[in-house]
Structure 1
């Protein structure tokens, strides 16, 4: 990562996009997250806007990650919410990563955002909320863990309330997939209340909720707690 930092600081900002193109890791299975992190650290909103405006997937990814630290601003937050429903999965992931960067410096603001987004009717906005808060490094207090559990609970309840024909849609399936691991992170952060909330899911007969339960029970972080 230090190599990327040195390289970018030695370049004029106008040369950054070409550098990103060269080192993006795309096409390929994994984009260069380390480089995106450095761009987010060193860049400003003017740069982030330019990267997003290019339309290129990796440049957009970097720009959206960079915007995350300013998500306390209403206009930036509205843009991130829009990007959370983007057709490109990497851009959607950039929203969660960007919000986590906000959480690193202002966790209460992140908590307010994810609780609000968890009540949004769009499954992909709910998914972004869960993915953003369900990061172990952010869940070091009972309050933060409680927020993560509540976000997962709200998103799961919203999914379970959808009619059967809606469940087959790609956005709903993406939410379900996210909840298939987010619950385990939230529960492991504070097992007492977390296991109680998770146990309530196990009493439901909804097939998608049952799938979420099975997926999380397959995660070692949760399996160890359940086996105690």
Structure 2
């Protein structure tokens, strides 16, 4: 860790241990070591910052700091602005704190997740997924309860956050968790196929998420995962078929489950030839 990152975390630790609260200085130090503007924020610092909030009691003012940072808007800190790092870190820290929080704070955290899922900044959408992963790592039941409460009527950006959060191998070691991920992904795929009006950008974001997440779920639960991919491989919707083909090309499936992936690709080829023949 470089000096700036250490200074930011040392400042946070002083605050948590009863020292002077210096929110402006902490924000400046975090922003200075954000590695923004740039293609990749300082994920190491963000993770270590969040880890400090995986506790039941927060020093005075720290919860309010997270709330304030999480609400920093795109107008105040657009994509690549060093201060975008503050809401990015705050949402992840809220995820770390969720399992320890009381009902009121959990509601505030859930609201922050929903805002981040729908943020125009891609990095904030990633923060939402990462925050949800922290919830699931502590208690998958808490994550599942959130997703079940949100899934009805969820838009494409929210659905993308659901699958991105679940496409985290540590969460999928338990078979029941992997089966839940496949079930929810199947529901989202069915809704996507049935949705008559699709906004181009949210659809692109959701599709990109599905194009890798299904393979993560299938690798964790191969039998049910193969069945899901085969089911959607037989659809006529080209967007759905592209999602399936993208997953079948992932090395996590081709290396261990080559025959199964080839069999599903054969279904796609057969259907595409059938569609061509029927149009001529």
**Contact 1:123 / 1:172 at 8 angstroms: preserved in 2?**
yes
Is 1:136 aligned to residue 169 of structure 2? yes
Deviates more, 1:69-78 or 1:150-159: 69-78
Distance (whole Å) between structure 1 residues aligned to residue 71 and residue 145 of structure 2: 28
- TM-score norm. by structure 2 comes to 0.74
CA gap 1:42/1:8 in 2 versus in 1, 3 angstroms: farther
1:32 alignment partner, one of 33, 42, 47? 42
Question: Which residue number in structure 1 is paired with residue 69 of structure 2?
Answer: 51
Is 1:195 aligned to residue 226 of structure 2? yes
Distance (whole Å) between structure 2 residues aligned to residue 149 and residue 3 of structure 1: 43
Distance (whole Å) between structure 2 residues aligned to residue 212 and residue 53 of structure 1: 34
Question: Which residue number in structure 2 is paired with residue 23 of structure 1?
Answer: 33
Q: Deviations over 1:170-221 (max 9, x none)?
A: 1111101100000000110111211112211111111110010111011101
Distance (whole Å) between structure 2 residues aligned to residue 29 and residue 114 of structure 1: 30
Deviation at 1:71, TM superposition (A): 4.5
Cα RMSD between the aligned structures? 2.1
Question: Which residue number in structure 1 is paired with residue 144 of structure 2?
Answer: 111
**Contact 1:117 / 1:126 at 8 angstroms: preserved in 2?**
no
- Secondary structure of 1:28's counterpart equals coil
The structure that has the greater radius of gyration is: 2
Deviates more, 1:149-158 or 1:91-100: 149-158
When the two structures are aligned, how many residues end up with a matched partner?
A: 226
Distance (whole Å) between structure 2 residues aligned to residue 10 and residue 69 of structure 1: 19
Deviation at 1:2, TM superposition (A): 9.2
Question: Which residue number in structure 2 is paired with residue 91 of structure 1?
Answer: 124
CA gap 1:9/1:224 in 2 versus in 1, 3 angstroms: closer
Q: Which runs of 5+ in 2 are unaligned?
A: 12-20, 54-61, 78-83, 100-105, 260-280
Question: Which residue number in structure 2 is paired with residue 205 of structure 1?
Answer: 236
Is 1:62 aligned to residue 89 of structure 2? yes
Q: Which runs of 5+ in 1 are unaligned?
A: none
Is 1:167 aligned to residue 198 of structure 2? yes
Q: Deviations over 1:125-180 (max 9, x none)?
A: 111111111101110011000111012111111111122xx335211111011000
Deviation at 1:65, TM superposition (A): 1.1
CA gap 1:127/1:218 in 2 versus in 1, 3 angstroms: same
Q: Deviations over 1:62-106 (max 9, x none)?
A: 111111234562332123112211111111110000010111111
Distance (whole Å) between structure 1 residues aligned to residue 249 and residue 4 of structure 2: 37
Deviation at 1:9, TM superposition (A): 4.2
Distance (whole Å) between structure 2 residues aligned to residue 9 and residue 227 of structure 1: 46
- TM-score norm. by structure 1 comes to 0.90
Structure with the largest fraction of helix: 1
